[in-house]
A and B are shown apart, each in its own frame.
Chain A
Amino acid sequence: MNPAIVTTLKASAYIGLTLLASPLLEGVIRKIKAFIQSRKGPPVSQPYLDLAKLLVKEDLSSTPSLVARLAPPAAFASVLAASLFVPYGVAAPAARAGDLFLFIYLITFSSTCVMAGGLSHSSPFSHIGSSREMMMLITIEAVILISLLIVGVSGHTALLSSLVGTSFRFSFVLGLICYLFAMQAMLGKLPFDIPEAEQEIMGGPFVEYSGPSLALFKWTFYMKQLFFGSLFFNLFVGWPHFAGWGWIGSVVSFAINFLAVLILGLFVVLIDATNPRLRIDQSLRFFAGLIGVALLGMGLAAFGL
């Protein structure tokens, strides 16, 4: 078969998996949170129902701004594109088309869309939320980039899929700690859900969004959970590959990957459920310190540690 067609098919399957599996992950996470809080919690299928409901609802808008219209699909699309570079236990379909810098650009673009969407409305709550999002992004983006680079320096490449299976070094410990905290913030979980802060600013940048637009934003977040978790396991933890097993190997790898992400989800929820929300200045100070730690890790990695 024509390799281009194979790659296209692979990419479509990959995107389909990302789209379909990510709400399930969210459903499980909610169930775990409910368990911690002595609640029964909604069924695991609830995020699918949420998305379905929002997608068929009316898309109310309080502004004629085109930016407000385009922000949700643009954020959604950039995250989908980013997912093509993330190894899910199997090599990503676009493994050789772009490196971790492109990945970071795409993720940043989706956050920028959230911000632009928030700023295009006139609500003071979405403005405060957007400016908080911006401040958070500046710090956590740096932390994520540097911690990924620690692995990159050790593996002598910036291609994410080629970094899978890089042998573990001491500097990875610093890298993975920084990555985990930054991931918590990137996924909008407590104690770092400052840009949304329902109880302070009623959801920040999302306060004016409804219906399909809101669904796209939500789905964007679900997908980020899936591939930030996957990246963690594929880069920082030595990962068994079933490359020689053909398509069965791919399925098994993906399943194991998904389970591993669920376990990481447990950790994320545990922090989420046992912390209050920090203030923006406290969070900025925290991540500024974390940048220092990440840079230290990078220095160690440069010396081969």
Chain B
Amino acid sequence: MTESSRILQDIRSHLGDSALECSELHASAVMVTVAPGDLPDASAFLDKTLDARFVISAGTDFRRAGKGFRVDHFFSQDRCKTWVVLRAYTSAEDPKVGSITPRVPAAGWAEREFQDLLGIKAEGHPDPRRLVLADDWPEGIHPLRRDVPYNIRPEPANNVAQPMAVPKGNVVVVPIGPFFPVLEEPAFLKVFVEGEEVVGLDYRGFFNHRGIEKLGDSKLTYNEIPFLAERICGICGFVHSTSYVQAVENAAGTDVPLRAKYIRSIVLELERIHSHLLWLGIAGHILGFDTVLMQTWRMREPLMWLMEKITGNRKTYGMNVVGGVRRDIPKESHSEILETVGKIEREWLKVISAVIDDTPLLMRLSKVGVFTPQDARDLGSVGPTARGSRQPIDTRIDHPYAAYDRIEVRGIWKDSCDVAARTLVRLEETLESIREVKQLLAEMPERPIHVEFTEAIPPGLEGISAVEAPRGEVIHYVLTGEDARPYRWRVRAPTYANLQALGVSLKGMSIADLPITLGSMDPCFSCTERVQVVDVRSRSVRIITGRELSDMARRRWDRAGRSRR
């Protein structure tokens, strides 16, 4: 009997009659449907008894098919490597479900999100304020409903109050954001301070919500979405395209060639190396230790050049398509990859010993931003944030994908639950990634690198896929639809899970520790700008347009190609 069928049996016997329907979605994913009112009890059973970790929720509009709205709560049973989907249908006229947040605190944001975007009310939610929609967005327009066009632009309203917490008593409000020196992405933390001590805070974010999920299920096709998915993040975009194509492949049952899986793993690990190097630099900068920033970014740069050679792009690689990858990593480039990561490895070992021996640095990292294992579990933290708090979760091990079931993956966990632990996890993971890259390159099987994928998948199939991003677990869920595009595409980035835990780890600490605690979660940021060129000799300033920039890139690529030949 497989693990997933055993879990199904467990659920069936425990939930009894309240389980309306139980089935297997695909290998390692099971689904159980209950009545909307039974969601809290069922979720508590999954969370507490079955020890399945809540990951995300998704709401879907099925009104055209006459089935009202659907709410899915996704759980991960890590030991059995199985996804559990808890499902409920609710009426089209008065969509509401029982809120699971009082029982499963990690679901707080996810429920607020479907409340905003689909208008499905989560009854009994302790904090039903808006999460995603702007404060001046009109009531009653829920963008993810199928009858709302993707390009809707309601009139902006003025003087809309921001429903944020008001401080009690004699405290000072310190506004961190929406733009703050070390927060490169817009987010607003209203921090209440007594002296130097943080006594409370409130969060408002989602200023840059771009409606990517909506675009995916209304404009793009299966093989166009990977390129949009990769643009969700400016640091670890490849995890999103990989996760998305794997979700479609899982749904369609596509058999991806082994070499493509190896290439995905190699690129993912190289991406993790660059991301962790980048993170250490930022962490140093947050503490005023700019030498760390300058040196790690210097070390990182050759890796960016390497990626440009392998994939054609410095950062947003554009390698993934459903069914495989677009470019091979030929034998000739192996030596260069090994040389680049080998150089990083040698320098990184020195960095690690420097960090471990640096007393002032450890004074700033140890016992700061303490996040207990219980909090990490309850609030659904993922990635190094969780692994620094004794949570042995790593998607590469829990839900093996790409080539990770064929190589040895060593999970790195630490005990001290503070910023120092999260730092050490990332430091050691970088070495582990380098080792994995070497093993993957050595064991790479023969071509092909992709199979033909015609975008003709029957509607109604479902696929879940998770990828271990540098920041934690990325989850993509795809429900196939008509017109060669998903009916529903759901994305959960790791920062979504980790940011919710922020309030817990910040209370009672010094305002000086706030930036590094926030930074220790490695909140994801991205930025794009046009380029300005200043000619020093003539002192003229010229703006380069997007077209010129792409022409320049093309010329440079041609030159690089010539020199290679």
Contact = CB atoms under 8 A, between A and B. Distances in A.
A240 interface: no
A200 B284 contact: no
Interface in B184-213: 193, 195-196
Contact of B511 (A36, A37, A128, A282): A128
Contacts of B289: 190, 275-277
Given A128-B174, A202-B181, A280 B512 contact: yes
B322 interface: no
Top 9 A-B residue pairs of the complex, sorted by shortest distance between their CB atoms = A276-B287, A37-B294, A277-B288, A276-B289, A199-B182, A273-B291, A279-B512, A124-B174, A37-B291
A104 to B, nearest CB: 27
Contact of B298 (A38, A273, A279): A38
Contacts of B180: 202
A191 B512 CA distance: 13
B27 interface: no
A128 B364 CA distance: 19
A124 B171 CA distance: 11
A280 B195 CA distance: 12
A198 interface: yes
A276 B294 contact: no
Interface in A28-80: 36-39
Interface residues of B, number: 32
A199 B285 contact: yes
Given A125-B174, A199-B515, A281 B510 contact: yes
B469 to A, nearest CB: 25
B360 A191 contact: yes
B360 A276 contact: yes
B175 A37 contact: no
Contacts of A191: 288, 360
B519 to A, nearest CB: 9
Contacts of B360: 191, 275-276, 278
Given A197-B288, A202-B181, A124 B175 contact: yes
B114 to A, nearest CB: 36
A282 B360 CA distance: 10
B285 A124 contact: no
B173 interface: yes
A200 B512 contact: yes
Interface of A: 36-39, 124-125, 127-128, 131, 190-191, 193-194, 197-202, 273-282
Contacts of B174: 124-125, 128
Contact of B363 (A194, A197, A278): A278
A193 B287 CA distance: 11
B173 A124 contact: yes
A300 to B, nearest CB: 28
B295 interface: yes
B361 interface: yes
A193 B294 CA distance: 19
Interface string B100-121: 0000000000000000000000
Contact of B510 (A38, A39, A127, A279): A279
B81 to A, nearest CB: 40
24 contacts: A37-B290, A37-B291, A124-B172, A124-B174, A131-B195, A191-B360, A199-B182, A199-B515, A200-B511, A201-B511, A202-B181, A273-B290, A275-B289, A275-B361, A276-B360, A277-B288, A277-B289, A277-B364, A279-B364, A279-B510, A279-B512, A279-B513, A280-B196, A282-B363
Contacts of B344: none
Nearest to B299: A38
Contact of B193 (A124, A277, A282): A124
A201 B358 CA distance: 24
Contacts of B294: 37-39
Interface of B: 172-175, 180-182, 193, 195-196, 284-291, 294-295, 298, 358, 360-361, 363-364, 510-515
Contacts of B298: 38
Nearest to A127: B172
Contacts of B172: 124, 127-128
A238 B42 CA distance: 81
Nearest to B172: A124
Contact of B288 (A39, A193, A282): A193
A198 B288 contact: yes
A275 B364 CA distance: 11
Given A190-B288, A279-B513, 16 more contacts: A38-B298, A124-B173, A128-B174, A197-B288, A200-B511, A201-B511, A202-B180, A273-B290, A274-B291, A275-B361, A276-B358, A276-B360, A276-B364, A278-B360, A280-B196, A281-B510
A201 B512 CA distance: 8
Contacts of A202: 180-181
Contacts of A281: 196, 510
Given A124-B172, A124-B173, A124-B193, A199 B181 contact: yes
A199 B511 contact: no
Contacts of B291: 36-37, 273-274
B364 A200 contact: no
Contacts of A193: 288
Contact of B286 (A128, A194, A199, A280): A199
A277 B285 CA distance: 10
B196 A128 contact: yes
A194 B512 contact: yes
Nearest to A190: B288
A146 B445 CA distance: 73
B388 to A, nearest CB: 19
A182 to B, nearest CB: 17
B170 to A, nearest CB: 13
B395 to A, nearest CB: 32
A53 B369 CA distance: 41
A200 B361 CA distance: 16
B184 to A, nearest CB: 12
The residue in A36, A39, A124, A200 that gathers the most chain B C-beta atoms within 10 A of its C-beta is A200
